[in-house]
Amino acid sequence: MTEGVQDLQILLTPEQSQALTTIAQGKDQTIFELVEQIFQEAIDRKQPTQSQELQQQLEALERVKLHKAKMLTERGGKPLSINLPAVLQEIREERDEYNVNSLVTHRH
C-alpha cells in the first residue's frame, strides 16, 4: 500500500461483484480504479466544496440584505426602533403575572 491510503474490505453480493467487473472491463479499468472513481464521485456529490459553501453563505447574506432593504422601504426609510430593556421587562412582568395566576388557580 502507498502512503496515505487505507485498506478497506467490502462485502459484495455475487451480482454486485459481476456488475463491477463488467463495468470495469467496459471502461478498461481495474475494479480498484472503478471503485475508487465511484467513491470519489459520491464524496464530491455529498460534500460541497468550500467555494460552494461560501457561495451559499454569500447568497444567504444577499437575501438578508434585500429583506432589510425591503423592510426599510416599507417603513419609509426609518429603521426599527426597539427599546430592548423595556420589552424584556414587559415580557418578565407578563411571565410573572402568568406564574402567579397559575399558582392561585391551582391552590383553589
| Alpha helices (H) along 3-83 | 14-26, 31-46, 50-74
Cα 91 versus chain centre, distance = 32
Chain segment 13-50, per-residue pLDDT in tens: 999 999 999 999 999 999 999 999 999 998 888 777 77
| Rounded Cα–Cα distance for residues 93 and 101 (Å) | 12
**What's the pLDDT at 2?**
58
Chain segment 48-97, per-residue pLDDT in tens: 777 888 889 999 999 999 999 999 999 898 888 889 999 999 999 999 99
CB 24 within 8 A of CB 33: yes
Higher pLDDT, 34 or 1: 34
Nearest to 37 by CA among 51, 24, 48, 50: 24
Q: Assign residue 76 a region: left if phi > 0, alpha if psi is -120 to 50, beta otherwise?
A: left
| Rounded Cα–Cα distance for residues 35 and 29 (Å) | 10
**What's the pLDDT at 59?**
96
**What's the pLDDT at 29?**
94
